[in-house]
Amino acid sequence: MARKRRGAGRVTLAEVAASAGVSTMTVSRFFNSPDKVSPAQRERIAQVVAETGYVPNQAAGGLASAHNRIVGMVVPNISGPIFAPTIQAFSDTLGEHGYQVLLASSYFSAEQEERAVRAFLGWAPAALVVTSHFHTEATERMLEQAALPVLETWDYRPERQPIQIGFSHYEVGVLAAEAVHARGYARPAFVLNSATGDLSALERCQGFTEILAQKGVDVLVHTPAPDLAPFEAGEQAMQQLHAGATPVDLIFFANDNLAAGGLLAAQHAGIRVPEQCAVLGFGDYPFARMLMPRLTTIRPPASAIGENAARWILAVADGQVPEAPLERLTCEVIVRDSL
């Protein structure tokens, strides 16, 4: 599939100033000293910046090298284990060739991701890597106009313009549904991430619920309290979903942190896993095989995503321009004691 060439017609500071009806100095102050710009002017400039996808060029001020060997990477979370293998493989592979990774976390906030993307692009990195396809309109415009290679990881939507390196979260839900149905579970539930903004978990939920619905099985979807700590959210979900006259017989948690909280709650409540309620996670975190019972989970190709992304960037830097969509990566159900 041919990809549209990037970087043509980058918006200039002068064009932003003209559209906002202010001087170029005022636009510069908007980014460097916004308190020195009147509220009305700030509002007009911000609107033009959002509409055009303008990025201030830090390299123009001599603060960045013309031969930049920095690669920007924005991930939803750097404190948890799920993206760590991707970050490590990405950094290790690029590091072998003299590149350094500049890392930012959005914590599942599209607005926070937008700020990180704008900051990174302003320093003219060698490439930019973002996570998934859920972006603000302003971020989409910046990615479209970026005069550098842009990758979307942990996702696979080849119809999109950015190169995709990852897998389909919807198909993860399908994979889980097939495993659950094959074992005869009749009252399953899906527990969403307690981190607001994890839209990839919603895609896994969609695949899970739609496939089981086709097989005549209804799925109960549980939404934890907003931004509740993962272990607490998993504990809450197990307590609520296994209460009442018709408790669920399986819970598919959005990630292994939630699933661990659910397993601990089951132990405290005397709920036998998997006899009374099976548990399925996502991520295959290092602790998954050490829990009691050992956690059945879905293992994403986290390291392969990082390595493949780095090798694609290195290929482009070496003058190769692979235009065809990259091969879709796959996930694997790791069956242990909880299913």
What's the CA gap between 152 and 131, in Å, rounded?
Answer: 5
For residues 227 and 170, the model is more confident at: 170
pLDDT value at 334 more than 80:
yes
pLDDT digits (tens, 9 = 90+) for 118-153: 999 988 899 999 999 999 999 999 999 998 999 999
pTM recorded for the entire structure: 0.82
What's the CA gap between 4 and 323, in Å, rounded?
Answer: 9
Which residues lie across from 209 on neighbouring strands?
none
Find out whether 29 and 58 touch, Cβ atoms under 8 Å: no
pLDDT digits (tens, 9 = 90+) for 8-18: 457 888 999 99
The Cβ-side half-sphere exposure at 78, using a 13 Å CA radius, reads: 10
Total number of residues shown for the chain: 339
Burial of 225 (0-12, 13-18, 19+ CB in 10 A): exposed
Bridge-based pairing state of the strands 250-253 and 220-222: unpaired
- Give the domains, in start order, of the chain with CATH numbers: 13-26+62-167+303-330 (3.40.50.2300), 169-299 (3.40.50.2300)
